[in-house]
Amino acid sequence: MSESLGPLLQLNAITKKFGATTALDAASFEGHAGEVHALMGANGAGKSTLMNVLGGVVPMDAGEIIISGSPVQIRSPHESKALGIAFVHQELNMLPTMTVAENVFIDALPQYGGLVDRDRMRKGAAELLERLGSRFSPEQPVEELSTGDRQMVEIARALARDPRIIIFDEPTSSLTDRERQRLFAIIRQLKQSGVAVIYITHFLDEIFHISDRVTVMRNGQTVGSSAIAAITPTEVVRLMLGEVERQERLREPHAAAGKPLLSVRGLTRRGVLHDIGFELYPGEIVGLWGLLGSGRTELVHALIGLDPIDSGELRIAADSEDRPITPKALHRQIGLVTEDRRGEGLLMPLSVVGNLSLASLSQLLSPLRLIDRRREQAFAEEIVARLKIKLNDPRQAVKTLSGGNQQKVVLGRWLATGPRLFILDEPTRGLDVAAKAEVLRLTTELATEGASILLISSELEDMMRVCDRYLVISRGRIVGELPGGADKNRLMEAVSGGHSTAAAA
């Protein structure tokens, strides 16, 4: 390691606010040439934002960036590239109908006499591809390539500018094992050639496999930095999640009884979910516990038909027996609360009343089959009271509410349809402490009234207050089940323990 030369890159006390939210709070980072430095943190911890500052995508409010000992200003991706920084984003920026060579050089096409120099372009691309150990032709259209190969093209584009610093943002989320190994080999190569590699990920096993250092971020701050050899996976998880305060349970663990409401068997989607099976009983809150990338969201999408599945069976209890049900049909019977309030949960410009009543309009009609406004208002007010939604007037637009109250509106809408099953996917994301507590309390009330709840959250302390049992998920598989009373150590180990066996080639 070239630590003798001093760090190649220093990010000091970087602060960034988006409106009222502090995304980065005096965060710091140091990168050395010829070193692979992992950057870890839960969703919203600030790792992507910090790198976006370095990549010129987002301007910082305060702090300094020092490269090779000199302070620099990075105001655009252009300036970032000019400083020798390459950013391989999580979402690949591919131009599918164009060839590999064109994709690699599109922002800096080699020219000869006013025209694009195709020979030079092809040769340049071929060289880069060879370095990356890829065997496809530079003349191939990118749309014919697999995700892994496309990523190679993205990396080639990054390498084309001979960078000193390369940032990889969650590069392995959609790769097969073999492609992942290939990526690691390339990263090792880059390290050997003296490039500073920054590797953002949430896969624990990978950082222990490939990186030399790790820096952990939480809530916009840098909470720890260490050589990999000097830290254990569990310690990393602890840094990521912070001290999990043992908070009061809102409801004692409830033992499931009777027949399951929903049973899932063999749910599989190639490359994403493997043979998932579990049961949900009425009146219980089951926590789906796993780190990001474990397949939690994919499981939810598969259950309700937003994504296709390759195989699997769902059965739901109906009357006194159970019968099979398709994911799309299941969707119609579920109350779904996601973290994406803005995109899927609510209609922002619409009033609170409008959002609350949207799924229950058929019950609010006057004899003329027109919507009875007074009934609708009463309906809304009842929900507002029951869920204690803070607002001035139910007719105000839902976008003027705070995040927590918005979330309650989403819950309230589904509550009114009386579903037997709720899926709550990160329902407390972005809420303040009081709002979190209320949402959790509501959750327990729903369960007490007999609903089944599948709760997904990366905030362990929340889960620990309400869950009756946990299903531990990792890399698309259910790897274990824990009782509701499990303590935080056991939970953290369950989710990091599954990772300490590095993925064998």
Partner 1 sequence: MTTAAVRRIASIAAPARIVPLLLAIAILVFLYYHAPHFFAVRNLINILVQMSSLGLLAIGMTLVMIGGGIDLSMPATMAFGAVLGAFYMRAGGNPAVAALITLVAVAAVGTINGIAAAWFKMTPFVVTLASMTAVGGATVWMTNSVSVSHFPDAFFNFYLARPFGVPVTVIILVVAALIASTVMSSTIFGRWLYAVGINARAARVARIPVERVLFATYLVSALLAGLTGVLLSARLGSASANIGNDGVVLDIVSACVVGGVSIYGGTGKPLGAVFGAFFITLISNSLNQLGVSYFMNLVVKGIVIIAFIYLDKLARREP
Partner 2 sequence: MKLSSLSLRAVLLDWGFVLVLCAIFVFFSLATAHFLEFGNMIAMLHTMASVVIISCGMAMVVMTGNLDISLGSIAFLSSSIGVLLMTRLGWNPVAAFSVTLLCGVAFGMLNGFIVVVLGINPLITTLGTMITLRGVGLELTQASVIPLPEGVRVLGNLAIGPIFVDILVMAAVLIAVHVLHRRTSFGRQINAIGNGAEVAARIGLPVGRLVFLDFVLAGFLASIGGIVALLQVGSLSAYLGAGLEFTAVAVVVVGGVSLFGGRGSIIPGVLLGALTFQLIVNGLTQMSANPYVYKLITGLVIFLAMYVDALKVGRIHAPPAAEAVEDEPA
Q: Hey, how many other C-beta atoms are within 10 angstroms of the C-beta on 416?
A: 21
Residues 41-80 that bind partner 2 (CB under 8 A): 77-78
Residue type (1 letter), 387: L
Q: Which is nearer to partner 1, 226 or 377 (CB)?
A: 377
Q: Count residues near partner 1 (CB under 8 A).
A: 22
147 binds, among partner 2, partner 1, none (CB under 5 to 8 A by kind): partner 2
Enter the DSSP assignment of 400: G
* 118 vs 331, beta carbon nearer partner 1: 331
The residues in 320-339 that bind partner 2, with binding defined as CB under 8 A, are none
Q: How many CB atoms lie within 10 A of CB 228?
A: 18
Whether the CB-CB separation of 158 and 37 falls below 8 Å is answered with no
Amino acid making up residue 396: Q
Contact stretch for partner 2 (CB under 8 A) within 95-103, 296-304, 347-355, 383-391: 95-103
Q: In whole angstroms, what is the distance from residue 222 CA to residue 243 CA? A: 15
User: Given the complex with partner 1, which of 187 and 356 has the nearer CB atom?
Assistant: 356
Q: Which residues pair with 64 in a beta bridge?
A: 12
**Site track for partner 1 across 391-430, x = CB under 8 A:** ----------------------x-----------------
Contact 443, 462 (CB under 8 A): no
449: partner contacted, choices partner 1, partner 2, none (Cβ within 5-8 A by kind): none
In the complex, least distance from residue 356 CB atom to partner 1, rounded to whole angstroms: 11
Residues 347-386 that bind partner 1 (CB under 8 A): 347-350, 354, 358-359, 361-362, 365, 369-371, 373
CB of 295 to partner 2, least distance (A): 13
The smaller minimum CB distance to partner 2, of residues 54 and 387, is found at 54
Of 176-195, binders to partner 2 (CB under 8 A) are 176-179
Question: Using CB distances below 5 to 8 A depending on partner kind, what does residue 346 bind out of partner 1, partner 2, none?
Answer: partner 1
Partner interacting with residue 343 (select from partner 2, partner 1, none; CB below 5-8 Å by kind): partner 1
Neighbouring C-alpha atoms within 13 Å toward the C-beta of 355: 29
* Strand positions, DSSP E, 419-500: 421-425, 452-456, 469-474, 477-483
In terms of Cα–Cα distance, which of 353, 462, 351, 439 is closest to 400?
Answer: 351
Please pick, from the candidates 343, 367, 501, 504, the single residue that binds partner 1 as defined by CB under 8 A. 343
Residues 39 and 49: their CA atoms lie apart, in Å, by 12
Give the one entry of partner 1, partner 2, none that residue 327 binds, where binding means its C-beta sits below a cut-off of 5 to 8 angstroms depending on kind: none
Which of 25, 72, 136, 160 is close enough to bind partner 2 by CB under 8 A? Answer: 136
Task: Pinpoint the alpha helices (H) of 432-482.
Answer: 433-448, 460-466
The whole-angstrom separation of Cα 36 and Cα 199 is 7
Phi/psi at 62 (5° precision): -155, 160
The entry of partner 1, partner 2, none that residue 111 binds, CB within 5 to 8 Å by partner kind: partner 2
- Amino acid identity for residue 484 in this structure: G
Sign of the CA dihedral with 301 first, then 303, 304, and 306 last: positive
Backbone dihedral region of 328: left (phi > 0), alpha (psi from -120 to 50 degrees) or beta?
alpha
- Among 167, 286, 325, 336, contact with partner 1 (rule: CB under 8 A): 336
361 binds, among partner 2, partner 1, none (CB under 5 to 8 A by kind): partner 1
- Beta-strand pair 115-116/111-112: antiparallel
Residues that bind partner 2 (CB under 8 A): 77-78, 81, 89, 93-98, 102, 106-107, 109, 111, 114-116, 118, 136, 140, 143-147, 149, 157, 176-179, 270-271, 308
Tell me which residues touch partner 1 (CB under 8 A): 331-332, 336, 343-350, 354, 358-359, 361-362, 365, 369-371, 373, 413
